[in-house]
Amino acid sequence: MKFNVSVCCDKCACTTHCQLALFNRPQQPWTFRCAACGAQIDITMAANGDHSKVVTKVQGASKLHERWL
Ligand SMILES: [Zn+2]
Protein backbone atom coordinates (compact mmCIF):
# COMPACT_ATOMS: atom_id res chain seq x y z
CA MET A 1 0.00 0.00 0.00
CA LYS A 2 1.63 3.24 -1.16
CA PHE A 3 0.63 6.84 -0.92
CA ASN A 4 1.85 10.24 -1.98
CA VAL A 5 1.98 12.93 0.66
CA SER A 6 2.98 16.59 0.58
CA VAL A 7 4.01 18.31 3.78
CA CYS A 8 4.91 21.89 4.64
CA CYS A 9 7.87 22.28 7.03
CA ASP A 10 6.88 24.00 10.30
CA LYS A 11 10.26 25.75 10.48
CA CYS A 12 10.78 27.18 6.98
CA ALA A 13 7.43 26.54 5.19
CA CYS A 14 9.21 24.60 2.42
CA THR A 15 7.04 21.95 0.75
CA THR A 16 8.27 18.35 0.50
CA HIS A 17 6.61 15.72 -1.68
CA CYS A 18 7.22 12.07 -0.89
CA GLN A 19 5.93 8.60 -1.67
CA LEU A 20 5.68 6.24 1.29
CA ALA A 21 4.61 2.63 1.70
CA LEU A 22 2.89 0.73 4.49
CA PHE A 23 4.22 -2.78 4.94
CA ASN A 24 2.70 -5.69 6.87
CA ARG A 25 2.79 -4.09 10.27
CA PRO A 26 0.28 -2.08 12.26
CA GLN A 27 2.51 1.01 12.45
CA GLN A 28 5.12 2.34 10.08
CA PRO A 29 7.21 5.31 11.21
CA TRP A 30 9.18 7.43 8.73
CA THR A 31 11.69 10.12 9.62
CA PHE A 32 13.46 12.43 7.21
CA ARG A 33 14.89 15.92 7.11
CA CYS A 34 13.53 18.98 5.34
CA ALA A 35 15.65 19.47 2.22
CA ALA A 36 15.73 23.25 2.74
CA CYS A 37 16.47 23.73 6.48
CA GLY A 38 17.27 20.24 7.80
CA ALA A 39 14.44 20.16 10.37
CA GLN A 40 13.27 16.68 11.32
CA ILE A 41 9.90 15.58 9.93
CA ASP A 42 8.18 12.46 11.26
CA ILE A 43 5.31 10.67 9.57
CA THR A 44 3.65 7.74 11.31
CA MET A 45 1.20 5.53 9.48
CA ALA A 46 -1.13 3.40 11.59
CA ALA A 47 -3.46 0.77 10.13
CA ASN A 48 -6.23 -1.38 11.51
CA GLY A 49 -6.02 -5.18 11.27
CA ASP A 50 -6.90 -5.62 7.59
CA HIS A 51 -5.37 -2.29 6.47
CA SER A 52 -8.78 -1.05 5.32
CA LYS A 53 -8.29 2.13 7.33
CA VAL A 54 -4.95 3.91 7.64
CA VAL A 55 -4.30 7.08 9.60
CA THR A 56 -1.23 9.25 9.09
CA LYS A 57 0.19 11.61 11.68
CA VAL A 58 2.78 14.25 10.83
CA GLN A 59 5.12 15.97 13.30
CA GLY A 60 7.46 18.82 12.42
CA ALA A 61 5.38 19.74 9.38
CA SER A 62 1.80 20.24 8.27
CA LYS A 63 0.17 17.77 5.93
CA LEU A 64 -0.97 19.55 2.76
CA HIS A 65 -2.56 16.57 1.04
CA GLU A 66 -2.22 12.83 0.64
CA ARG A 67 -3.35 10.43 -2.02
CA TRP A 68 -3.42 6.64 -1.84
CA LEU A 69 -2.12 4.83 -4.92
ZN1 LIG B 1 12.34 23.30 6.52
**pLDDT tens, residue by residue, 40-66:** 999 998 888 777 788 889 999 999 998
Q: What is the DSSP string of the chain?
A: -EEEEEEEETTT--EEEEEEE--SSSEEEEEEE-TTT--EEEEEEEE-TTSSSEEEEEESEEEEEEEE-
Residue 21 confidence (pLDDT) above 80? yes
Report how far ligand 1's centroid is from the alpha carbon of 40 (Å): 8
Judge contact between 15 and 6, C-beta under 8 A: yes
More confident residue, 26 or 14: 14
Of all residues in the chain, the percent with pLDDT exceeding 70 is 99
Using alpha carbons, select from 14, 8, 16, 5 the residue that is nearest to residue 45: 5
Judge contact between 66 and 8, C-beta under 8 A: no
Residues surrounding ion ligand 1 at CB below 5 Å = 9, 11-12, 14, 34, 36-37, 39
